[in-house]
Amino acid sequence: MQGLFSALPPMEKGSVWLVGAGPGDPGLLTLHAVNALQQADVVVHDALVNSECLSLARPGALLEFAGKRGGKPSHKQRDISLRLVELARAGHRVLRLKGGDPFVFGRGGEEALTLIEHGIPFRIVPGITAGIGGLAYAGIPVTHREVNHAVTFLTGHDSSGLVPDRIDWEGIARGSPVIVMYMAMKHIGQIAANLIAGGRSPDEPVAFVCNAATAGQQVLETTLSRAEADVEAAGIEPPAIVVVGEVVRLRASLDWIGALTEGRRLAPDPFGAREMKDPA
């Protein structure tokens, strides 16, 4: 194992690595991410980075919190970006560790552009985004050949904290069989109404996956018309990934965590005794 890491790139002093930590489970960290954790002088991390991932930082590394959470006091994005510049200019090897993937609703592009503006060398290390990995831990695939050949990823709020008005909700409702939403729980009532107004069935399956890929993972299955009321009744809270579409029904067959830890019996035909053809 040591030989494997010796073949990976070194972190240079005065540089910044923008690294995705995945959705939660430290086993989903990439080798590049672990390599960075073992070298960094300073780890500037998000609120969504699992503490087990941070425990892999080298002894003596400074762990600096720079999280942003909707509705709670948070660091301003420009201040976070300039802090990375400050740390790099002080000669540190800086790891900016983000939950999921830095380039999927992670503001990684904004931070990289600030580094370029100030002449700071950097590296991008992708991570497993929660909209794929988190759903997989809930037993929900984002694509399935009997259900969809397209998927849309979107954010449930913009920089103002409101539902984005630049999203073509009618177009997405008509054209995307599966919709995966980040940061959408707070506005799920309005979002569901937009999708139903655009033509989606009120009875379409919806799932909320909270604290995905962690020991505290919770999954709520509901429908578009019931989503807001069921979230309130269940008392679940962000962070959450929301998925809309028939792929949610596959959880009855693919909830592998439920089968392993709770003895859940998985259904061979999640679509209801329909003849399943052997795909080519």
Catalytic residues: 46, 68, 183
Lateral strand order in the sheet of 240-244: 151-155, 178-182, 240-244, 205-210, 218-223
Tokens 């999203």 label which residue? 167
Residues 161/168, Cβ–Cβ less than 8 Å: no
Q: How far apart are CA 259 and CA 240, in angstroms?
A: 22
- The DSSP result for 76-97, as a single string, is -HHHHHHHHHHHHHTT--EEEE
User: What one-character-per-residue DSSP string does 206-267 give?
Assistant: EEEEESTTSTT-EEEEEETTTHHHHHHHHT--SSEEEEESGGGGGHHHH-HHHHHHH-PPPP
Separation in Å, CA 5 to CA 9, 59, 98, 121: 8, 17, 21, 22
Sequence letter at residue 202: P
Q: Are 18 and 98 in contact (CB under 8 A)?
A: yes
Closest CA to 132 of 115, 153, 109: 153
